Chains A and B, each alone.
Chain A
Amino acid sequence: MKSSIYIKIGISAIIILLWGIGACKKPGEFDDALLDERLSADAATVFDESSSAFGQVIPGLTEAEMRFHDFGDKLFGQSFVTSPSSLAGHGGLGPIFNNISCNRCHVNEGRGTPFNTSSVSQSIFLKTSLPGNDINGGPNPLPGFGLQFQDRAIAGAAPEATISVTWVYTIITLADGTKVELREPVYSINNPYKPLPAGYLLSARMSRPTFGIGILESISESSILRNADANDNNVDGISGRPNYVWDYNKKTVALGRLGWKASTPDIIGQVAKALNEDIGVTSHIFPFKNAIGQPQMSALSETSAIDIPDSFVNALTFYMRTLAVPARRNVNDLNVIAGSKIFRSTGCIKCHADVQTTRTDVSFGPLSNLVVRPYSDLLLHDMGEGLADHRSEFEANGNEWRTPPLWGLGLTNRINGNNFFLHDGRARSFIEAILWHGGEAEGTRVKFTKLSKEDRENLMRFLESL
């Protein structure tokens, strides 16, 4: 009987000891590989694969935040007209512009189209400048034209110029004999309102998707910089580096995150700049018309006031900040899984980095501490002569481009009715886009050309799943 008591005490002691060991165990770091592959943006992911997938709000907003988001949504679709307008907040267009509303370039919050496509309005423009920098380290404006050609104007004013494009075609033959046609744009600047200064530089910018940029803005600086390797110290041939740019809102230098060359640090700067340069609308961040100093200004009957109040800029910014990322599809498909492995083995993953983390943001929980998969390191990379525009933007030189995020890629055709990729829309498919990679990505491009048809198709299935 007594020995039985000792046995019970002994068993109890072992249980308590085991429990104690378990209780003292500290949680390890969560393995990124265990994340649900579908959740491209963690809790800011939405399960929508329709044409509205890029325009969905992130979950978790308060009622007040939803109202502000909806107001921004309305502004995103609002057409601007020539002042004076009887409608509050609708005036301010021009006198020169590229388009009349945000959603005319970012159709369905998605990407645009290159010149000479069948859409009614263009969703691409040409940046311009002279060699050298302005006082903030940015591009040097072309006298009389500024930093981009506005190819439309209000009645009574002349556009700065009109743009036309011709295409130069080449054929690439892959290792298995498959032929792929590539095309490269050659632009002509027609009917400039005044003679163009000599030596001007050009670089096309097709509009980018606007969803998910709140997450890109929220990715911690350390998460971005840990992938930077400006001198290629790890000798892998990839030397991503950050762009440090002028923040026109805060009047300071900041890490660039947004745009084809990461030349904008945050959404509010992007919004205010696009309103000003693309539509002609002034705000507190860009208080002067894009045509200031040009004769087109005489077509305006009102020029004194700032066109839209801060609240409008803030609502538009909040709208874009709170656009969710659509979930991936078919992640368990064996071809997609095989394609994912090829994405890694060919080296795509080195720049199109999959996992990033957003910073802790106690003021806005829905975007705080997310583990996200934009498939971008947000760094600049030399992409070779084929894509070079020979035009610098802050620290990005004429060969460098920011790695574009790939999330949502597979929904592009459904949502935007096309598969135009790269900064000028020259690529008409994933394959063409990959074949334009050069510079640091040359090795990866060569590996891609040597893939078997099956491996290549699996890689396409993976990209379509994003």
Chain B
Amino acid sequence: MTKNLIIFTLLASLLILSCKDNNPGPDNAASYSNEAVITDFVDNTVVPKYESLKNEAGYMKSDADNFISGSTQEKLNILRADWFRTREAWETTECFLFGPVATLELDPSIDDWPLNSVDLDSVMATSNTFTPSYVASLSTSLKGFHAIEYLIFGKNGNRLAADFTAREKEYLGALCADLLTITTKMYTEWNPAQGNYRNELVTAGNGNATYPTKKAALLEITNAITGIVEEVGASKISEPFNTFDSTLEESQFSKNSFTDFKNNIIGARDAYMNKYDSKTKTSISDFVKQYNKSLDQDIIIKFNAIIQNLGSYNTTFGNAIIKQRPNISNTIAALDDLKNNIENGILPLIHLHVTD
């Protein structure tokens, strides 16, 4: 009898232990709220980054005008540096491609690819004045980052200031003005005083028709981060890699593709941690930490490793897909692994724990 009691007690203890919740729940619940994640993400990441992009586009427009008024090589180099900075500002926003940037098609308006070079030559051959309305009416494959890149770097990346025709300068000025208009719209669409998409997200769950729950808003932010990680790995890198075709490289005139990819992933990591301009606010990372600290650490380690990896290539992307195939293959695998970590790790946590 005593023996049976001991066995029963052991089995019962085992059962009780095995039933213990594997998800212990928030350990800093008092200082955390889903609302703070959403609001801080908008106010510390989305809006400041669109503001920065708009500002960089403004500097580029100003320096383009300066170049047009007296075309020296030094001014062209300044313009190229502006293009790199504006490009960086844009690439770090691609981790939140939802809302007006998608639904108003602002993304393809500045970053369509490939360039329609046949039509570009035809447009250059006309005498149409590049008024803002005329440029706005042009197909998106004739303007934006890559049209400007084509003009200021040239097909082989070695264009000289002296090579520019008056018509090309006129086009360049109009393209930079159009880019400024579109990036300004990206910013104002989130501005409370104008488009106010900010309000759509920060009022999630409070009678808001677009995001009726906070869960919907958190899924939106997380899926957008996943989306860019997947796009860099499965599309931007894989497509030229799989086809051995360097002409499919996106920023091929400036040879900036590796930097583009790196900035995409920096943007995604910083969005995950809600870190911008030395300020770190409540984040998806904080949400994950509550339930699975090791997952959070793992994701951050993987982000950092990929960023370091993308910065370590000592050649252009076009060369690397031919000459450094094992390395590129590893980069693709690391991005896929990170994407799976977020998809299979964070999304279930949101579905399970966010009920408001």
Contacts and interface: CB of A to CB of B under 8 A. Distances in A.
Among B99, B139, B224, B245, the most chain A Cβ lie within 10 Å of the Cβ of B139
Nearest to B209: A413
Interface stretch (B3-11, B100-108, B264-272, B320-328): B100-108
A85 B117 CA distance: 8
A119 B235 contact: no
B105 A119 contact: yes
B172 to A, nearest CB: 18
A84 B112 CA distance: 18
B20 to A, nearest CB: 27
A155 B114 contact: no
A154 B333 CA distance: 40
A337 B102 CA distance: 33
A155 B220 contact: no
Given A81-B114, A90-B114, A51 B220 contact: yes
Given A51-B102, A152-B139, A88 B245 contact: yes
B147 to A, nearest CB: 12
Nearest to A152: B139
Contacts of B140: 79, 100, 120-121
A104 B117 contact: no
Interface string A49-87: 111100000000000000000100110000101111111
Interface stretch (A255-263, A288-296, A343-351, A414-422): A414-422
A52 B223 contact: yes
Nearest to A118: B104
Contacts of B102: 51, 107-108, 417
A88 B244 CA distance: 12
Among A82, A83, A88, A100, the most chain B Cβ lie within 10 Å of the Cβ of A82
A104 B234 contact: no
A101 to B, nearest CB: 8
Nearest to A52: B223
Interface string B105-129: 1101100111111110011001000
Given A50-B98, A52-B227, A79 B108 contact: yes
Contacts of A199: none
Contact of B114 (A84, A87, A152): A87
A85 B115 CA distance: 9
Given A79-B114, A81-B118, A87-B114, A50 B210 contact: no
A73 B106 CA distance: 20
Interface string B217-229: 0011011100100
B108 A104 contact: yes
A395 interface: no
A20 interface: no
Nearest to B248: A87
A99 to B, nearest CB: 10
Given A88-B245, A107-B102, A154 B119 contact: yes
Given A81-B116, A87-B114, A87-B247, A120 B105 contact: yes
Nearest to A88: B245
Contacts of A100: 139-141
Interface in B144-166: none
Contacts of B106: 120
Nearest to A156: B122
B248 A79 contact: no
Nearest to B197: A417
Contacts of B118: 81-85, 154-155, 301
Interface string A93-116: 100000010001001100000000
B163 to A, nearest CB: 20
A81 B103 contact: no
Nearest to B223: A50
> What is the predominant secondary structure among interface residues of chain B facing chain A?
helix
Nearest to A414: B210
A206 B341 CA distance: 38
A229 interface: no
A416 B351 contact: no
B245 to A, nearest CB: 7
Contacts of B276: none
A154 B119 CA distance: 7
Interface in B333-350: none
Contact of A93 (B105, B116, B123): B116
A48 interface: yes
Nearest to A330: B212
Contacts of A84: 118
A200 interface: no
B141 A81 contact: yes
B216 interface: yes
Contacts of A48: 219, 223
B315 to A, nearest CB: 21
A47 interface: yes
A418 B103 contact: yes
A120 B224 contact: no
A72 to B, nearest CB: 12
A145 B61 CA distance: 42
B108 A51 contact: no
B219 to A, nearest CB: 5
Nearest to B221: A50
B180 to A, nearest CB: 16
Contact of B216 (A86, A88, A93, A414): A414
Contacts of A418: 103
B319 to A, nearest CB: 18
Interface string B237-249: 0010001010110
Given A81-B115, A86-B247, A50 B108 contact: no
A4 to B, nearest CB: 28
A413 B210 CA distance: 6
Contacts of B141: 79, 81, 100
A46 B109 CA distance: 30
Contacts of A47: 351
B144 to A, nearest CB: 11
A152 B102 CA distance: 22
A49 B122 CA distance: 44
B211 interface: yes
B113 A416 contact: no
B188 to A, nearest CB: 12
Contacts of A329: 212
A53 B209 CA distance: 17
B219 A74 contact: no
B135 to A, nearest CB: 12
Given A50-B219, A79-B113, A108-B102, A414 B122 contact: no
Given A119-B103, A417-B104, A81 B117 contact: yes
A119 B122 contact: no
23 contacts: A49-B216, A50-B223, A50-B224, A52-B223, A81-B115, A81-B141, A82-B116, A87-B245, A88-B243, A88-B245, A100-B139, A107-B102, A108-B102, A108-B103, A120-B105, A152-B139, A154-B116, A154-B118, A155-B119, A155-B126, A301-B118, A416-B103, A417-B102
Nearest first, the 3 A-B pairs at minimum CB distance are A417-B103, A155-B122, A81-B116
Given A50-B98, A416-B103, A418-B103, 18 more contacts: A48-B219, A49-B219, A51-B98, A51-B99, A51-B223, A51-B224, A74-B235, A79-B108, A81-B117, A81-B119, A85-B117, A88-B243, A88-B245, A100-B140, A100-B141, A120-B109, A120-B140, A301-B118
